[in-house]
Amino acid sequence: MRPGCCATLQHPNIPETYDSGRVFGTYFIAMEYIPGRTLKDLITHCRTTVGPVPEPIVLNLAMQLCDALDYAHKRCDEHGRPLGIIHRDVTPANLILAPTGVLSWSTSASRRPGLRRSRASPA
Protein backbone atom coordinates (compact mmCIF):
# COMPACT_ATOMS: atom_id res chain seq x y z
CA MET A 1 0.00 0.00 0.00
CA ARG A 2 1.22 3.48 -0.73
CA PRO A 3 2.09 5.30 2.51
CA GLY A 4 -0.52 7.89 3.35
CA CYS A 5 -2.99 6.52 0.81
CA CYS A 6 -5.66 5.67 3.36
CA ALA A 7 -4.79 8.51 5.72
CA THR A 8 -6.90 10.80 3.52
CA LEU A 9 -10.00 8.66 4.03
CA GLN A 10 -12.35 10.27 6.53
CA HIS A 11 -15.61 8.37 6.72
CA PRO A 12 -17.67 7.09 9.67
CA ASN A 13 -17.30 3.48 8.49
CA ILE A 14 -13.54 3.61 7.85
CA PRO A 15 -11.17 3.57 10.85
CA GLU A 16 -8.66 6.40 10.92
CA THR A 17 -5.16 5.56 9.75
CA TYR A 18 -2.52 7.19 11.94
CA ASP A 19 0.66 6.03 10.24
CA SER A 20 2.04 3.48 7.82
CA GLY A 21 5.43 2.57 6.57
CA ARG A 22 8.22 0.07 6.68
CA VAL A 23 10.50 -0.68 9.62
CA PHE A 24 13.41 -3.10 9.21
CA GLY A 25 11.78 -4.56 6.09
CA THR A 26 8.37 -5.12 7.68
CA TYR A 27 5.38 -3.05 6.57
CA PHE A 28 2.99 -1.68 9.18
CA ILE A 29 -0.24 0.28 9.42
CA ALA A 30 -1.21 2.01 12.68
CA MET A 31 -4.98 2.39 12.74
CA GLU A 32 -7.74 3.48 15.08
CA TYR A 33 -8.86 0.70 17.39
CA ILE A 34 -12.54 -0.17 16.94
CA PRO A 35 -13.97 -2.22 19.82
CA GLY A 36 -16.43 -4.86 18.80
CA ARG A 37 -16.84 -8.18 17.08
CA THR A 38 -16.52 -9.08 13.43
CA LEU A 39 -19.40 -9.66 11.07
CA LYS A 40 -18.21 -13.26 10.91
CA ASP A 41 -18.79 -13.52 14.68
CA LEU A 42 -22.33 -12.14 14.27
CA ILE A 43 -23.15 -14.61 11.49
CA THR A 44 -21.85 -17.53 13.57
CA HIS A 45 -23.74 -16.38 16.68
CA CYS A 46 -27.02 -15.97 14.80
CA ARG A 47 -26.60 -19.30 13.04
CA THR A 48 -26.28 -21.11 16.38
CA THR A 49 -29.06 -19.19 18.15
CA VAL A 50 -31.76 -17.77 15.89
CA GLY A 51 -30.85 -18.78 12.34
CA PRO A 52 -29.84 -16.35 9.60
CA VAL A 53 -29.00 -12.76 10.51
CA PRO A 54 -32.31 -10.86 10.43
CA GLU A 55 -32.96 -9.10 7.12
CA PRO A 56 -33.21 -5.53 8.54
CA ILE A 57 -29.76 -5.97 10.12
CA VAL A 58 -28.28 -7.39 6.91
CA LEU A 59 -29.69 -4.48 4.88
CA ASN A 60 -28.39 -1.90 7.35
CA LEU A 61 -24.89 -3.40 7.38
CA ALA A 62 -24.85 -3.73 3.59
CA MET A 63 -25.83 -0.07 3.25
CA GLN A 64 -23.01 0.99 5.57
CA LEU A 65 -20.46 -1.14 3.71
CA CYS A 66 -21.58 0.10 0.28
CA ASP A 67 -21.39 3.70 1.49
CA ALA A 68 -17.79 3.21 2.71
CA LEU A 69 -16.68 1.39 -0.45
CA ASP A 70 -18.30 3.99 -2.70
CA TYR A 71 -16.57 6.78 -0.77
CA ALA A 72 -13.16 5.08 -0.98
CA HIS A 73 -13.46 4.19 -4.67
CA LYS A 74 -14.41 7.76 -5.63
CA ARG A 75 -11.72 9.43 -3.50
CA CYS A 76 -9.24 11.72 -5.30
CA ASP A 77 -5.98 13.34 -4.28
CA GLU A 78 -5.45 17.09 -3.88
CA HIS A 79 -4.92 17.38 -7.66
CA GLY A 80 -8.21 15.66 -8.51
CA ARG A 81 -6.61 12.38 -9.58
CA PRO A 82 -8.39 9.22 -8.42
CA LEU A 83 -6.54 7.42 -5.62
CA GLY A 84 -7.37 4.12 -7.31
CA ILE A 85 -8.19 2.37 -4.05
CA ILE A 86 -9.13 -1.27 -4.48
CA HIS A 87 -10.06 -3.50 -1.58
CA ARG A 88 -8.98 -7.04 -2.20
CA ASP A 89 -10.46 -8.74 0.84
CA VAL A 90 -13.98 -7.59 1.77
CA THR A 91 -15.01 -10.49 3.99
CA PRO A 92 -17.06 -10.84 7.18
CA ALA A 93 -13.81 -11.36 9.12
CA ASN A 94 -12.59 -7.88 8.05
CA LEU A 95 -15.73 -5.99 9.02
CA ILE A 96 -16.03 -4.90 12.63
CA LEU A 97 -19.31 -4.13 14.36
CA ALA A 98 -19.02 -1.55 17.11
CA PRO A 99 -21.41 -1.91 20.06
CA THR A 100 -23.30 1.10 18.64
CA GLY A 101 -24.12 -0.83 15.44
CA VAL A 102 -21.66 1.07 13.25
CA LEU A 103 -19.87 -1.16 10.78
CA SER A 104 -16.16 -0.45 10.30
CA TRP A 105 -14.40 -1.55 7.14
CA SER A 106 -10.78 -2.43 7.72
CA THR A 107 -8.71 -0.63 5.12
CA SER A 108 -5.60 -2.62 5.99
CA ALA A 109 -6.04 -4.75 2.87
CA SER A 110 -6.46 -1.75 0.57
CA ARG A 111 -3.99 -0.90 -2.11
CA ARG A 112 -3.54 0.97 -5.31
CA PRO A 113 -3.52 -0.93 -8.59
CA GLY A 114 -0.09 -1.75 -9.92
CA LEU A 115 1.67 -1.84 -6.56
CA ARG A 116 3.34 -5.14 -5.80
CA ARG A 117 3.10 -6.80 -2.42
CA SER A 118 6.29 -7.48 -0.55
CA ARG A 119 6.86 -10.87 0.99
CA ALA A 120 6.91 -9.00 4.29
CA SER A 121 3.40 -7.63 3.64
CA PRO A 122 0.85 -9.21 6.01
CA ALA A 123 -2.05 -9.07 3.55
Given the residues 19, 70, 77, 89, select the one marked as catalytic: 89
89 is catalytic: yes
β 37-38/95-97 pair status: antiparallel
Please list the active-site residues: 89
